[in-house]
Chains A and B, each alone.
Chain A
Amino acid sequence: MTQFLSLLLNGLSLGAIYALIALGFVIIFKASEVTSFMQGSLLLLGAYLMGRLHESLGFWGAVAVGIAGSAIAAMVVERLLINRLRGAPVISLAILTIGVDLIIVTELTRRIGSDILNLGHPWGGRAISIGGIGMTTNRALAIVVAGVLIGALFLTFKFSSWGISMRAAAEDGEAAALMGIHMGRVSMFAWMLAGVLAAVAGLFAVGAPTPGVTPAVATVALSALPAAILGGLDSTGGALVGGILIGLAEAMAAGYQDQIAFLGRGFGDVVPYVVMVAVLLVRPSGLFGTREMTRV
């Protein structure tokens, strides 16, 4: 039972990290109709900046620079590339982001080399115990911060004028533009926000129990793709549910590895995709995604 509760908590924290990234996907998709495959590189960029700069700027300074760096990178991509290609086929835009991702990840991989950058989290590798169940402080903080951030975002979507603009843009881009909503600005802000979310996810994804920043960290974002998809690409609530579902499933599969040994070692890593394919078979637009309708 203790093991189950511990896995539950760890899965929840993993899910919180996934939810942050998945939310980035969803925001970008809603505001600009682009599926961004470059969240992984934004996450890695943020973590890399934090890892390189924390000695000279201090931890909090480095975190600020890392978050700003990811947001600016996302903004530059949106301004220079995505904004010019409004109305291009969805597949072309997705492939474009794969190209950008390739460039950024290759460059960062080259810079990191075989190092493992440490972020120097002030909470380090300490662990806390909640009712006899242990987890690292880093993972516990991830739940808290992600919870606060996601809560704030949901309020923003609901009440701020940008949030309303974004929902209008997602509903019907043309009508929104005709009503005087500045589509470019909505899209730019969405991309920056996704950059911020990716960097925050990176901050916690590279903390204990993960050793530090390695190029492999970018694959965390790939596991968040199934989270976004299974929740429904255009549903912010779906991203949250999907992230937590994927996080829990992955933690459980890794924790009960011995019981499911017939599926092979390391099955936990593929669980996100297995869950996603299973959900998509039943609901092709994800759990909360808008059903596709064809009007003739």
Chain B
Amino acid sequence: MSETTTVREPQPREKAPRRAARSRGRLVRLVALLVLVAVLMLLPLYVQEFWLRTGFAVFAAIIGALGLNLLVGTTGQLSLGHAFFLAVGAVTYTYVSGLPGGTANPYDGLGWPPLVGMVLGVIAAGAMGVLFSPIAARLRGIYLGIASLGLVFIGEHVLNTWTSVTGGFNGRLVPGFSLFGFSFGGSDSPYLEVLGVPFGQAERLWYLGLALCIAASWFAANLLRSRPGRALQTLRDSEVAASVMGVDVPAYKARAFLVSSMYAGLAGVLYALSIGSVAPDSFGLTLSVQFLAMIVLGGLGSVTGSIMGAAFVSALPLVFQQYAGSLPFIVNPGQPGIVASQAAAFLYGAAIVLVVLFEPGGLAGLARRLRRPTRAPGDRSATTSGADPDQVTQPAQADSSTIGDNE
């Protein structure tokens, strides 16, 4: 990762070809991105409902992973409390937009429009992030990680206890989403058909997830390149250096928590829509660990990494479940052997270990490494940080004392 810190002095004579190469690289990336988006837009016309539902779960995970990566990868603040912020988003949405109900454990609901519920969910999660930030600002490294672990357990307890809002242990159903009368829920109103394919819940949610996901990725990528984004990266590499350069350390930490937990809130709303009912069990430590696994696998501090890692970790158990019959080693629940969720846990547990051991840059780093040898040896221009937005966000590996605790 040494190239992240190298500053190439300007060489006027080379400038023109280098700029041309850079803009060519940018063009290639843009075209690839547009093709990818087009494929994703067309997919619902061709694939089965299972893949659309999986896709929606992946979109939700991507948004959550982007948020966690901003906090852990970019700012260097270890958080095991991501599941808590997802829970805040999900529960706020179900409470604000849901209707009162429940037979054994009656619960309330405001029944407001789902869009309001979603926005309030994001705001509530952000507010919790800000509330937590005074604690976060005082703690560093591992201390912060374990304090945020406390959030998950305290949050789970609150979810279990506050039955009038959350439905208690058994949870409550999530109201379907709708936008100005256009339903994304179970009722297919108004009826919509595109090229002979009827658009049901799965298709509609797919587009909702895709749109939100693109917006979230775009915002994250721009944030990383902006002045606040650079400040956050400096803060990760050295808090002392950051404060010397005029970065207000506590304020930026608080903002990182705010943005990250707002992402988590949105992800929580989508996650709730995806699983259909929210119960305290869904927001345990396992979920936090899954999100950590996503960003470590994908690559800390990288937007494309978050996307790849989230797709891998969140889709894996669902795919294993769906194809349990045709995959060797995997059995249906109740039989002796490895069930799908366990197989997925083995796989991403092993993947975490391998990534930390051999490729600290994650999948994004791997992709970068595979791309590099194809260039001509003399053509160094493409490796300058400007050409690759991911590169600048890599942690400085050599400086281990920055995230260390007691030094």
What B residues does A93 contact at CB under 8 A?
356
Confirm or deny: B23 has a beta carbon within 8 angstroms of a beta carbon on chain A. no
What A residues does B405 contact at CB under 8 A?
90, 233-234, 285, 292
Contact code string A201-229 (vs B, CB < 8 Å = 1, else 0): 00000000000000000000010011001
Q: Which of B72, B138, B356, B360 contacts A280 (CB 8 A)?
A: B138
Contact code string B327-368 (vs A, CB < 8 Å = 1, else 0): 000000000001100100110111111001100100000000
- Mostly helix, strand, loop or mixed at chain B's interface? helix
Instruction: Say how far A82's CB is from chain B's closest CB, in angstroms.
Output: 10
What A residues does B48 contact at CB under 8 A?
none
Confirm or deny: B20 has a beta carbon within 8 angstroms of a beta carbon on chain A. no
Q: Which of A99, A267, A276 contacts B350 (CB 8 A)?
A: A99
Q: Which of B146, B244, B345, B403 contacts A229 (CB 8 A)?
A: B146
* Residues A29-77 near B (CB distance < 8 A): 33, 35
Knowing A222-B285, A285-B143 touch, does A84 contact B357 (C-beta < 8 A)?
A: yes
The residue among A87, A226, A277, A285 with the most chain B CB atoms within 10 A of its own CB is: A277
Confirm or deny: A289 has a beta carbon within 8 angstroms of a beta carbon on chain B. yes
The residue among B147, B151, B350 with the most chain A CB atoms within 10 A of its own CB is: B147
**Stretch among A7-15, A102-110, A145-153 lining the B interface:** A102-110
A98 to B406, CA, bound (A): 22
Whether the Cβ atoms of A292 and B406 lie closer than 8 Å is yes
Confirm or deny: B373 has a beta carbon within 8 angstroms of a beta carbon on chain A. no
Q: Which of A265, A269, A292 contacts B153 (CB 8 A)?
A: A269
Whether the Cβ atoms of B356 and A33 lie closer than 8 Å is no
The residue among B139, B156, B244, B351 with the most chain A CB atoms within 10 A of its own CB is: B139
A95 to B72, CA, bound (A): 11
Whether the Cβ atoms of B146 and A284 lie closer than 8 Å is no
Q: What residue in chain A is nearest B152 (Cβ atoms)?
A: A273
Contact code string A255-296 (vs B, CB < 8 Å = 1, else 0): 000000001111101100110110011001110011011101
Interface size on B, residues (CB 8 A): 54
Whether the Cβ atoms of A95 and B296 lie closer than 8 Å is yes
Confirm or deny: A91 has a beta carbon within 8 angstroms of a beta carbon on chain B. yes
A96 to B400, CA, bound (A): 16
Whether the Cβ atoms of A94 and B135 lie closer than 8 Å is no
Q: Which of A106, A109, A234, A267 contacts B157 (CB 8 A)?
A: A267
Whether the Cβ atoms of B356 and A88 lie closer than 8 Å is yes
Confirm or deny: A85 has a beta carbon within 8 angstroms of a beta carbon on chain B. yes
Whether the Cβ atoms of B139 and A276 lie closer than 8 Å is no
Whether the Cβ atoms of B157 and A266 lie closer than 8 Å is yes
Knowing A96-B352, A266-B160 touch, does A106 contact B142 (C-beta < 8 A)?
A: no
What B residues does A284 contact at CB under 8 A?
138-140, 143
Instruction: Say how far A138's CB is from chain B's closest CB, in angstroms.
Output: 26
What B residues does A285 contact at CB under 8 A?
143, 405-406
What B residues does A286 contact at CB under 8 A?
143
Instruction: Say how far B358's CB is from chain A's closest CB, in angstroms.
Output: 10
Confirm or deny: A81 has a beta carbon within 8 angstroms of a beta carbon on chain B. yes
Whether the Cβ atoms of B154 and A274 lie closer than 8 Å is yes
Knowing A99-B356, A106-B342 touch, does A280 contact B135 (C-beta < 8 A)?
A: yes
A285 to B141, CA, bound (A): 11
What A residues does B153 contact at CB under 8 A?
269-270, 273
A266 to B349, CA, bound (A): 31
A87 to B357, CA, bound (A): 12
A277 to B161, CA, bound (A): 20
What A residues does B76 contact at CB under 8 A?
91
What B residues does A95 contact at CB under 8 A?
292, 296, 352, 356
Confirm or deny: A132 has a beta carbon within 8 angstroms of a beta carbon on chain B. no
Confirm or deny: A181 has a beta carbon within 8 angstroms of a beta carbon on chain B. no
A273 to B405, CA, bound (A): 20
Q: Which of B140, B141, B353, B395 contacts A81 (CB 8 A)?
A: B353
A270 to B158, CA, bound (A): 10
Confirm or deny: A180 has a beta carbon within 8 angstroms of a beta carbon on chain B. no
A240 to B289, CA, bound (A): 28
Confirm or deny: B392 has a beta carbon within 8 angstroms of a beta carbon on chain A. no
Q: What residue in chain A is nearest B336 (Cβ atoms)?
A: A113
A98 to B403, CA, bound (A): 18
Q: Which 3 A-B pairs have the closest CB atoms?
A: A264-B161, A99-B352, A273-B150
What is the interface of chain B, defined by CB distance below 8 A to chain A? 72, 76, 78, 135, 138-143, 145-147, 149-151, 153-154, 156-158, 160-162, 239-240, 244, 285, 289, 292-293, 296, 338-339, 342, 345-346, 348-353, 356-357, 360, 395, 397, 400, 403-407
- 29 contacting pairs across A/B (C-beta < 8 A): A33-B404, A81-B353, A88-B356, A88-B397, A89-B395, A91-B72, A92-B296, A99-B293, A99-B349, A100-B353, A102-B293, A222-B285, A229-B146, A229-B147, A233-B405, A264-B158, A264-B162, A266-B157, A277-B154, A280-B135, A285-B143, A290-B406, A292-B140, A292-B405, A292-B406, A292-B407, A294-B239, A296-B240, A296-B244
